Amino acid sequence: MRLPLITRSLLCRFLGHSDVRRWSHGEEFLPEWEDRTRRLARLVPPGSHVLEFGAGRRTLEKYLPPGCRYVPSDLVSRGPDTFVCDLNRRPLPDLAGLAVDTAVFGGVLEYVRDLPELVNWLSAYIDRCVASYECAQPQSTAWQRLRQDVLRSRAGWVNTFQEEELVSLFQTRGLRLVHRDVWHTHDGDEPVFVFQKAMGVWLPPQSTPS
């Protein structure tokens, strides 16, 4: 039986599972995501060793600046060099052997059930994180927050963080916000962040208009 997306999302949220079936095939990868990927790639310094989580069609690889080394990671293999990793499965893997310094998440963090644990794990291995995240809106009552959780589940998302909460997650683990951009879409605006450790700070170039 094929469960509706919102039902599978709620199960993933409460059981800590990833929707592997949804992401095993390319039908879910929307053409408009390529614009977001180009924006993410512009925020990566030349010569970086990049680990992309949720690599999908590996579009990021062709837009990275010169000298970058690219490692794709996803729930399922996206080629023989894929680092297969389910970010909702425990224990999270040791990344030391990959020797990466930059992690990229394009439309992925929304699907991670325990985002604080993920950031804590990741901060031990990387110096920089480039990520998009559809932030939750501030809500004044418990009912409004619950309603927003349900609405986010309709997109398959399993966590709900406001922008200041997301930034705090990274900054308390030594990855401070050094750049904020916006990916403009027909459905709304999605922030794009660069979090970086203080040592060896690199600031992205000025963004071009969307």
pLDDT tens across 89-137, in order?
999 999 999 999 999 999 899 999 999 999 999 999 999 999 999 999 8
Residue-level pLDDT at 1: 36
d(CA 132, CA 27): 21
Residue-level pLDDT at 11: 55
Residues of 108-119 as b/e, b for ≥16 C-beta within 10 angstroms?
bbbbbbbbeebb
Position 85: which residue type? C
C-beta separation of 118 from 88 below 8 A = no
Residue-level pLDDT at 45: 96
Residue-level pLDDT at 186: 72
d(CA 68, CA 94): 21
pTM for this entry: 0.84
Tokens 């110096």 belong to 127
Q: Where are the domains of the chain?
A: 5-196
Residue-level pLDDT at 189: 84
Residue-level pLDDT at 116: 97
The beta-strand segments (E) located in 36-175 are 49-53, 69-74, 83-84, 102-105, 128-132
Residue-level pLDDT at 210: 44
Pick the CATH number of 5-196 from 2.60.130.10, 3.30.1300.10, 3.40.50.150, 1.10.8.60: 3.40.50.150
Residue-level pLDDT at 150: 78
Residue-level pLDDT at 52: 98
Residue-level pLDDT at 165: 96
**With a cut of 70, which residues of the chain have pLDDT below it?**
1-31, 33, 187, 199-203, 205-210
d(CA 102, CA 100): 6
Residue-level pLDDT at 25: 66
